[in-house]
Structure 1
Amino acid sequence: MNDKVFISYAKEDYTFAEKLYDFLKENDFKPWLDKKEILPGQDWNYVLHKSLREANYIILLLSHTSVQKRGYVQREFKLSLEYYEEKLEDDIYLIPLKIDDCEVPDSLRKFQWVEHNSQDCFDLVLKSLCLQRNKYESFEKKQIASKEIFAYKELNEEYEYSNNNKTNFQLKSSYVQFTDESIASLSEVNAMIKGKNIDFITNSRRNFIEITGETKAIEGIDWYYDLSITPNMISKSVISLNENFYCYTGGAHGIGIIKGLNLHINPTFTIEIQDLFEYEDHAVVLNFVSNFCFKELQKMYNEWVETSEEEIELQTKETLFWEKSLLPEWDKYDSYFITKTGIEIIFNPYSVSGYAFGIQFVTIPFVELLKIVTEKSKLEALIQKIQ
């Protein structure tokens, strides 16, 4: 627990990143490095986003290459800063590590960085990680004791099948179970999570096992199915869960989908995005969300593809993204997380653009939503419940 470390780096700096990975692993942390963790055939964009979101700490390797490179490295930097906003002021979450004499980007200057030329740079990183892990564990113990948050354990299941053609079919799942089942609401949440896990396993099996019980005579590359259900945010009254599904059954790439499951506790019920607003405000909120998401996705697109200023000025929802994909309708934004500071809309592959655009997240702060609604009671009640 509290030991997941995401290492962000440019591919040219892989040798250094690998040394850091090995060092952290030897010191009881669980570092994540794409070349170490992403399996052949997996959707790297999906797995990368998932791992970045679930990380307890993020180490940004800064070099002349990484700070000037367009594309995914910059997107990792940007997402890291967004996730930092959910942390406390004195939390150690982002650790910039300079591996050459590059300039530190303005957006990262508020964070104390580590210089690689210091002999003990890895030890300094480890010291910071251990300090924050101890802080997390101490704080969580106090919160659990006072019922402010709920303790949980992580469970893992794995099944493997093969056929006469030596094709393997692998199922993996990891999910959480809350340990205090004296609270009826948590028992219901546990049952819901278990049900999703069982549905995943049984529905996945039917894709490669015949009614006779025999494995289908499929030839070629191995098939892989993965599900993880992890906490995104836990408070005494609201739990936001991150449900990740991925499968690969051959072809150019697999497919990964992320869903948010937001639950009220005591009593238990799901919280749909439209539940956060009074009906009278729905039209205003939907138009705001549609426009806000377009502007943020437009920025992401133009960071990904080199676009001239003239082209950017001509971009509209209809020309840049798929027709009707950003209409002011609730079903376009119904997969989301509740965070400490706002709501995070999830755009899975093919929801607004082609597969290559990947999974994108748009965070809308509560403060922005409060500005546009006339009736604030529902939003204010939610904010109070999660603080």
Structure 2
Amino acid sequence: MKKWIISIVSILSICLVFSSTVSENEAQAVGPTVKIKKYKNNRYYQYAEISGAKYMDANSKMLKHTKKIYKDNAKLQVKLKKDLKSGRAMKGMEYWSKISCKKKYSSSSKVSILCVNDIYDGGAHGMQYVKSFNMYKGKVIGLKSAFKSEKSYEDGKNYAKNYMLNHPSDYPFADHQTTIAGHSFFWTAKGLKVVFDPYEVSSYAGGIQYVSVPSKYLK
């Protein structure tokens, strides 16, 4: 009878430890909380704020980027007044430089924020420029640092270029000089996606374009 009770207690103990281990692993897999905030309570000037002390530097850089765009917009308003007075801008015309941000990926070790700066300062149409903030273990990194090694980086660049060259309908402006080097990117569940602004590999009408790089090349 005692052996039976001991066996039951042992089984329950093992189940409890297993359950605790699973819960701990699940908790580790969950990424930090990401909030999209409005600078000066203005919905046209967004920035991301990531929870956790290790993201303080990243948060500071993201806010600084939004502040710069806010100041750029103030300069555009001065330019608009001059252009309206000189007749270079039509009555009722508006200039702007805005920024919208979005969380693209979040895990225990990787976080990606993608921000789009929308600018119009006259002419036929405006322009969009993408800037991403990618964190690996809390540190902001560039595209090259997302790869496992120098060889992986070169292989990844070749993979992306070949993919674009083999899909000319999606990337009509891509050629043998096209490279992902220095571009914005964001993490995905299967690797990462590199971002190309309008006109870089497609027309303005084609908008912002993306090319994927598989996880086998990455950290």
Give TM-score, length-normalised by structure 2.
Answer: 0.71
Deviations 1:31-77 (A, max 9, x none): xxxxxxxxxxxxxxxxxxxxxxxxxxxxxxxxxxxxxxxxxxxxxxx
Relative to structure 1, the CA distance from residue 200 to residue 187 in structure 2 (aligned partners, 3 Å threshold; closer, same or farther) is: same
Partner of 1:218: 83
Does the aligned pair in 2 maintain the 1:229–1:243 contact within 8 Å?
yes
Relative to structure 1, the CA distance from residue 300 to residue 159 in structure 2 (aligned partners, 3 Å threshold; closer, same or farther) is: same
Once the two structures are TM-superposed, the CA of residue 158 in structure 1 deviates from its matched residue by 6.4
Partner of 2:37: 155
Relative to structure 1, the CA distance from residue 360 to residue 269 in structure 2 (aligned partners, 3 Å threshold; closer, same or farther) is: closer
SS in structure 2 of the partner of residue 343 of structure 1? strand
Task: Describe how 1:213-252 pairs up with structure 2 within 5 A.
Answer: 216-219=81-84, 220=90, 221-252=93-124
Partner of 2:87: none
Task: Describe how 1:299-338 pairs up with structure 2 within 5 A.
Answer: 299-300=169-170, 320-321=172-173, 325-327=177-179, 330-331=181-182, 334-338=183-187
Partner of 1:291: 162
Counterparts of 1:283 and 1:246, CA distance in 2: 32
Relative to structure 1, the CA distance from residue 340 to residue 323 in structure 2 (aligned partners, 3 Å threshold; closer, same or farther) is: closer
Partner of 2:20: none
Counterparts of 2:99 and 2:36, CA distance in 1: 13
Matching residue within 188, 195, 201 for 1:352: 201
Letter of the aligned partner of 1:321 in structure 2? F
Relative to structure 1, the CA distance from residue 146 to residue 283 in structure 2 (aligned partners, 3 Å threshold; closer, same or farther) is: closer
Partner of 1:340: 189
Letter of the aligned partner of 1:279 in structure 2? E
Counterparts of 2:175 and 2:129, CA distance in 1: 21
Counterparts of 2:82 and 2:173, CA distance in 1: 40
Pairwise CA RMSD: 3.1
Relative to structure 1, the CA distance from residue 294 to residue 158 in structure 2 (aligned partners, 3 Å threshold; closer, same or farther) is: farther
Once the two structures are TM-superposed, the CA of residue 173 in structure 1 deviates from its matched residue by 0.8
Letter of the aligned partner of 2:193 in structure 1? E
Matching residue within 276, 280, 286 for 2:147: 276
Counterparts of 1:336 and 1:176, CA distance in 2: 16
Partner of 1:262: 134
Between 236-245 and 270-279, report the one with greater CA deviation.
270-279
Does the aligned pair in 1 maintain the 2:165–2:174 contact within 8 Å?
no
Counterparts of 1:246 and 1:326, CA distance in 2: 24
Once the two structures are TM-superposed, the CA of residue 159 in structure 1 deviates from its matched residue by 8.9
Counterparts of 1:270 and 1:342, CA distance in 2: 15
Counterparts of 2:74 and 2:208, CA distance in 1: 26
Relative to structure 1, the CA distance from residue 290 to residue 323 in structure 2 (aligned partners, 3 Å threshold; closer, same or farther) is: closer
Once the two structures are TM-superposed, the CA of residue 358 in structure 1 deviates from its matched residue by 2.3
Does the aligned pair in 2 maintain the 1:257–1:348 contact within 8 Å?
yes
Give TM-score, length-normalised by structure 1.
Answer: 0.43
Deviations 1:184-212 (A, max 9, x none): 212222212111111111133223338xx
Counterparts of 2:82 and 2:105, CA distance in 1: 43
% same residue: 20
Partner of 2:56: 187
Relative to structure 1, the CA distance from residue 282 to residue 203 in structure 2 (aligned partners, 3 Å threshold; closer, same or farther) is: same
Counterparts of 1:153 and 1:275, CA distance in 2: 24
Does the aligned pair in 1 maintain the 2:44–2:98 contact within 8 Å?
yes
Letter of the aligned partner of 1:242 in structure 2? L
Deviations 1:54-109 (A, max 9, x none): xxxxxxxxxxxxxxxxxxxxxxxxxxxxxxxxxxxxxxxxxxxxxxxxxxxxxxxx
Relative to structure 1, the CA distance from residue 152 to residue 285 in structure 2 (aligned partners, 3 Å threshold; closer, same or farther) is: closer
The count of residues paired between Structure 1 and Structure 2 equals 188
Counterparts of 2:41 and 2:81, CA distance in 1: 16
Does the aligned pair in 1 maintain the 2:70–2:98 contact within 8 Å?
no
Gaps of 5+ in 1: 1-141, 161-170, 302-319, 374-378, 383-387
Relative to structure 1, the CA distance from residue 177 to residue 159 in structure 2 (aligned partners, 3 Å threshold; closer, same or farther) is: closer
Once the two structures are TM-superposed, the CA of residue 277 in structure 1 deviates from its matched residue by 3.3
Counterparts of 1:186 and 1:339, CA distance in 2: 20
Counterparts of 2:32 and 2:214, CA distance in 1: 25
Larger Rg: 2
Task: Describe how 1:162-177 pairs up with structure 2 within 5 A.
Answer: 172-177=44-49
Does the aligned pair in 1 maintain the 2:73–2:96 contact within 8 Å?
no
Does the aligned pair in 2 maintain the 1:231–1:242 contact within 8 Å?
yes
